[in-house]
Amino acid sequence: MPPDLIAQAFRSQAAPVEFHGRWPAGRSIVNARPTKVAAVFGTRPEAIKMMPVLREIDARGPAFTLCNIITSQHTDLLDPLLRRFQLQSHHCLNVLRPGQTLDQLLSRLLAALDAVLEEASPDLLLVQGDTTSALAGGLAGHHHKIPVAHIEAGLRSGSRFSPFPEEMNRRLITQLATYHMAATPSNVQTLLAEGVPPERVFLTGNPIVDALQIVLASSPPSDQLHALLQELEGQRIIVLTSHRRENSGDTMRGYFAVLRDFIARHSNVTLVFPVHPNPAVRRECVRAGLAGPSIRLIDPLDYPDFLHLLRSAWLVVSDSGGIQEETPSLGKPLLVIRENTERPEAIDSGCARLVGKSPETLAMMLDELAADDTWIRGVQATVNPFGNGNSAKAIVDALTNVIDPIETRSSIAS
Ligand code: UDP
């Protein structure tokens, strides 16, 4: 990448501009109205990653007004987070229907957003990541000619159907967004290589690192988790999470069966699996016979408890994106049960290994680690390649000092 492009992209991190109560074009906030920012989110990882940014926006006082548009894509997982993080729901879209297809979800989201954006008329939309909620936010923003800032921009697995539908969602959101908040230099490079104008790309880190730091500093384990960890003292804990749509069916059942057999052969290992509410995941647990005294199937944990559980793990096995971003901060070894990863930085950090879409490979890797756990013992908390905990500040600095949404909106509209 040419050095001037890198310099531009790195601008927000290399030389963060403090907010001094004046707009970039010299407009004083006394004369200018606050920028109305609407955040569209509705899944567990979106709430976790959006929280630090919304707090930071709130902390900037009169420069912004905030409007949270909650899509409620995951109600069971989202509501405890909204309560814990004290995130207000200004508009709740209530689009969840049992067994609905992606198209039905997307069309419900678009219809609901159409009405809300008409009424709320924000200057800027914030979307995060690659969910159907984020795609709907990007598309509705485009239809309403509202500039969209995309947090966690520039991730690519390189495979249209893995993860599904997230890989295509994130590519489409790149086309729809005006501003792109990239977590890593390689994400910046991807966006520039795809022709995104460099002045629209900001290297900010991923606010999940901020969220993890905020939560670990302020929330001890609950009594229930404390009791579970005490009960399992002396055991090697494998923490499992799995919910990816492209794994459901034979592959997920295969991974679960491998873990069941591994646990049966190792009396010093216990599996703790906070089971995702998706019925497809629960079905595969039953079909794989994932049960027994050393297999703890539990409800999804509150975010702080889940982080404390990860901290106690001997090994983490997961298909989650967010967990790949968290484990480097926690110094925990992770086996990624996916065909590929859009987060190669986790592998490069030495904290994660890619299993591939192959239960047989998982079985082989587990056997190797049981025989020789040098890698596991060697994984230490490291400089997290996804951020340093200042991502929310970098994002909001970009919003305040570099981006002028009010002007942008009028120029898009004209
Ligand atoms: N997580 C949680 N409780 C749990 C399992 C996961 O709070 O019981 C958190 C986890 O720490 C991570 C996020 O949820 O921050 C990951 O969510 P998910 O796996 O649903 O989505 P993905 O990361 O794959 O987009």
- Residue 379 half-sphere exposure, CB side, CA atoms within 13 Å? 27
pLDDT > 50? residue 101? yes
CA dist., res. 330 & res. 308, Å (int)? 10
Residue pair 263/240 in contact (Cβ under 8 Å)? The answer is: no
Q: How deeply is 401 buried, as exposed, middle or buried, from its count of CB atoms within 10 A (0-12, 13-18, 19+)?
A: middle
Helix (H) or strand (E) holding 78: helix 75-84
pLDDT > 60? residue 27? no
Helix (H) or strand (E) holding 150: strand 148-153
pLDDT of residue 61: 87
Q: How deeply is 274 buried, as exposed, middle or buried, from its count of CB atoms within 10 A (0-12, 13-18, 19+)?
A: middle
To the nearest 10 degrees (0 to 180), the angle between helices 250-265 and 279-287 is: 50
pLDDT > 70? residue 104? yes
β-sheet bridge partners, residue 315: 238
- Interval 309-328 mean pLDDT: 98
Summarize pLDDT for 217-256 with one digit per residue, the tens.
999 999 999 999 999 999 999 999 999 999 999 999 999 9
Name residues whose C-beta falls within 8 Å of residue 241's C-beta, 6 or more positions apart in sequence: 273, 274, 276, 317, 318, 319, 320, 323
Find out whether the beta carbon of 321 lies less than 6 Å from any atom of ligand 1. Answer: yes
Q: Which of 128, 275, 317, 323 to mutate to test the pocket of ligand 1 (most atoms within 8 A of CB)?
A: 323
Summarize pLDDT for 282-308 with one digit per residue, the tens.
999 999 999 999 999 999 999 999 999
DSSP-derived 3-state class of residue 324: helix
Select from 99, 160, 108, 174 the least CA-distant residue to 136.
108
- Between 21-35, 56-70, 395-409, the lowest mean confidence (pLDDT) is in 21-35
> Token pair for residue 203?
């290297």
CA dist., res. 324 & res. 305, Å (int)? 17
Find out whether the beta carbon of 305 lies less than 6 Å from any atom of ligand 1. Answer: no
DSSP-derived 3-state class of residue 382: coil
pLDDT > 70? residue 9? no
Cα(322) to centroid(ligand 1), Å: 6
Give the pLDDT band (50/70/90) at residue 411.
low
Instruction: Report, as residue numbers or ranges, the catalytic residues.
Output: 130, 152, 166, 243, 245, 276
Strand 124-128 to strand 148-153: parallel, antiparallel, or no bridges (unpaired)?
A: parallel
pTM: 0.91
Cα(272) to centroid(ligand 1), Å: 14
Residue pair 92/58 in contact (Cβ under 8 Å)? The answer is: no
To the nearest 10 degrees (0 to 180), the angle between helices 75-84 and 303-311 is: 90
CA dist., res. 100 & res. 408, Å (int)? 36
pLDDT of residue 381: 83
Summarize pLDDT for 363-395 with one digit per residue, the tens.
999 999 999 999 999 998 889 999 999 999 999
pLDDT of residue 14: 37
